[in-house]
A and B are shown apart, each in its own frame.
Chain A
Amino acid sequence: MKAITIQNLSKTYANGTRALTEVNIEVEAGDFFALLGANGAGKTTIIGILTGLVNKTAGKAVIYGHNIDREFEAAKRMMGVVPQEFNFNMFEKIQDILITQAGYYGIERSAALTEAESLLKRLGLWEKRNHPARSLSGGMKRRLMIARALVHRPQLLILDEPTAGVDVELRYGMWDYLKQLNQEGRTILLTTHYLEEVEQLCRHAAMIKEGKIIKHDAVKNLVKMMDRETYVVAVRDMRELSGFEEYNLTVVDSHSFEVELNRTTELDPFLAKLKGSGFVITDIRPKGHRLEKLFLDLLKK
């Protein structure tokens, strides 16, 4: 079962800006899918079209079998949306925000109260339920947005840069929660600037540039496309790096340097040579953000 099918989706804004050009994306039910792209690439436009905030110019979008042109009401019931910016009424009480949102989906007040209590407890907002939204911290507001998107129990959760601007602790907490939601069977479509987030969470990703999909594959396949890997090597004391011209080395500080190696190259000869030159290795680790490098490489093409 496909959660999302997008075919030849195009959007040209009234001012003539072409935001999307024949975009094709398929997301399987239960997948954790990332939409990657620079600012203005068209990610939010895609989400806007799927959720009814943007009118498409051409193409087709189907959510769990419901074509948004013919059965938008049914399609909307399948989706929960967490937008990029806080868009709830700051003067409303937190619990009221959820109850009202549930009402928009036709959920009776008694059922909405039960669901709201469960979500607010799960997201650590229950104690604040009678406070106005403006009194919440930034992290709590993010969680409230997620609770609001889930109050009608959607099959598909769409998150537009949900961890933008949140601290590391909260980001990791949110990752755990999103993983749980996905494990419970919800399909998640995520846009993000944190490519580490994609590597940690997502199984599939599409990269978008200037309104066109430039890559659509499993995240593990995208990572495999990287033919080189950068390692950070920590040493007790930095010494002269002469004799290592065959390697691409960059000194980071007085106790570490980076080395870029071919992914097929074994590390042992390099480490042996370091030891032979008197280096005492205290740590070695991949630099990470491999996807980020691939992403930048693809954007340059």
Chain B
Amino acid sequence: MKKQWIAFQAILNKEVTRFVRIWSQTLLPPVITQMLYFLIFGKFIGSRIGNIEGVDYMAFIVPGLVMMAVINSAYVNVVSSFFSAKFQRNIEEMLVAPVSSWVIMAGYVSAGVLRGLLVGFLVFAVSCFFTRPVIHSFFMIFIFILLTAVLFSLGGLLNGIFSKNFDDVSIFPTFVLTPLIYLGGVFYSINHLPPVWQHISRLNPILYMVNGFRFGFYGLSDVNLFLSLGLLIVFIFGLILINFRLLEKGVGLKN
């Protein structure tokens, strides 16, 4: 057990060192991008929108933009690092060693979570230059951001396991993840949408994460919070089991 704990630390240390070493590619871009969102949507356009559900528009979009940065960073960190290790074949260093599949998964996912949380914190810090978000429930903020980072790190790992080339790495984030995030209530409340779009929006899992996170700040949510937490936990357990099974079988890793 102690040996596996040391192996976990080795993977985590390697991964964190990697994303910190290339901070200008991993930490800076999301902060710059989100800053532009604050400027354009918050400052320039937001001033014409006014309040949403009693909250200043600039402050309203802060949780969504932080969540967007967390989701992207956690996902991309794991998928790119895991695929890169496969591509360069240094994943074999781990496969020939007595590292369990649980530890491989935990190491990569923890690194993804750490990068996601670090980027989220930086984006939140930048948002404080534009507005002053209030905190309704620190616990809800923490639990939603942590579980979301875990979920999308696991998703990144799944993508990394199946990826055979660089196109496979970017297809899901570009064509599925990004639209779901934009349509997940980051910039608006679904209560302002026509009923049919409200129903369609409720099929988007990211809506529940953004709203849960936003509840932590302002006590506002378009959806049931218990349903949000339940969905997150179910998806996380599902992805843990799927990833573990794939790693055990060596799918995408062994011949």
Segment 92-116 of B: residues with Cβ below 8 Å from A: 92-100
User: In the bound complex, how far is the Cα of B90 from the Cα of A285, in angstroms?
Assistant: 45
Segment 255-299 of A: residues with Cβ below 8 Å from B: none
Nearest chain A residue, comparing its CB with the CB of B1:
A106
Does the CB pair A105–B98 fall under 8 Å? yes
Whether a CB of chain B sits under 8 angstroms from the CB of A100 is yes
Whether a CB of chain A sits under 8 angstroms from the CB of B174 is no
User: In the bound complex, how far is the Cα of B90 from the Cα of A79, in angstroms?
Assistant: 17
Taking each of B9, B85, B92, B98, which has the highest tally of chain A beta carbons within 10 Å of its own beta carbon? B98
User: In the bound complex, how far is the Cα of B13 from the Cα of A92, in angstroms?
Assistant: 12
Whether a CB of chain A sits under 8 angstroms from the CB of B10 is yes
Segment 9-63 of B: residues with Cβ below 8 Å from A: 9-11, 13-14, 17-18, 21
Name the distance in Å between A27's Cβ and chain B's nearest Cβ: 18
Q: Which residues of B contact A81 (CB under 8 A)?
A: 96
Q: Which residues of A contact B88 (CB under 8 A)?
A: 87, 89-90
Nearest chain B residue, comparing its CB with the CB of A73:
B98
Does the CB pair A89–B90 fall under 8 Å? yes
Does the CB pair B254–A53 fall under 8 Å? yes
User: In the bound complex, how far is the Cα of B18 from the Cα of A90, in angstroms?
Assistant: 12
Taking each of B2, B17, B97, which has the highest tally of chain A beta carbons within 10 Å of its own beta carbon? B97
Does the CB pair B6–A51 fall under 8 Å? no
Segment 118-172 of A: residues with Cβ below 8 Å from B: 148, 152
Q: Which residues of B contact A92 (CB under 8 A)?
A: 14
Does the CB pair A85–B10 fall under 8 Å? no
Does the CB pair B98–A107 fall under 8 Å? no
Does the CB pair A96–B17 fall under 8 Å? yes
Q: Which residues of B contact A102 (CB under 8 A)?
A: 10
Q: Which residues of A contact B96 (CB under 8 A)?
A: 51-53, 76, 79, 81
Total contacting residues, chain A, CB less than 8 A: 37
Out of A48, A76, A85, A107, which one reaches B255, CB within 8 Å?
A48
Q: Which residues of B contact A72 (CB under 8 A)?
A: 98
Contacts A52-B95, A53-B96; A106 near B90 (Cβ below 8 A)? no
Name the distance in Å between A255's Cβ and chain B's nearest Cβ: 49
Name the distance in Å between B16's Cβ and chain A's nearest Cβ: 12
Does the CB pair B7–A77 fall under 8 Å? no
Nearest chain B residue, comparing its CB with the CB of A97:
B93
Does the CB pair A108–B6 fall under 8 Å? yes
Does the CB pair B99–A104 fall under 8 Å? yes
Whether a CB of chain B sits under 8 angstroms from the CB of A103 is yes
Whether a CB of chain A sits under 8 angstroms from the CB of B250 is yes
User: In the bound complex, how far is the Cα of B95 from the Cα of A76, in angstroms?
Assistant: 10
Does the CB pair B13–A103 fall under 8 Å? yes
User: In the bound complex, how far is the Cα of B8 from the Cα of A103, in angstroms?
Assistant: 8
Whether a CB of chain A sits under 8 angstroms from the CB of B3 is yes
Contacts A53-B255, A100-B13, A100-B14; A85 near B89 (Cβ below 8 A)? yes
Name the distance in Å between B47's Cβ and chain A's nearest Cβ: 45
Does the CB pair B6–A87 fall under 8 Å? no
Nearest chain B residue, comparing its CB with the CB of A80:
B96
Contacts A13-B255, A48-B255, A89-B90; A103 near B98 (Cβ below 8 A)? no
Name the distance in Å between B32's Cβ and chain A's nearest Cβ: 24
Does the CB pair A104–B255 fall under 8 Å? no
Whether a CB of chain B sits under 8 angstroms from the CB of A221 is no
Does the CB pair B98–A54 fall under 8 Å? no
Name the distance in Å between A96's Cβ and chain B's nearest Cβ: 7
Does the CB pair B93–A88 fall under 8 Å? yes
A-B contact pairs, 8 of them (CB 8 A): A13-B255, A73-B98, A76-B96, A76-B98, A85-B89, A87-B90, A89-B90, A100-B14
Q: Which 8 pairs from chain A and chain B are nearest by CB?
A: A106-B3, A103-B10, A104-B97, A87-B89, A73-B98, A76-B98, A51-B96, A54-B255
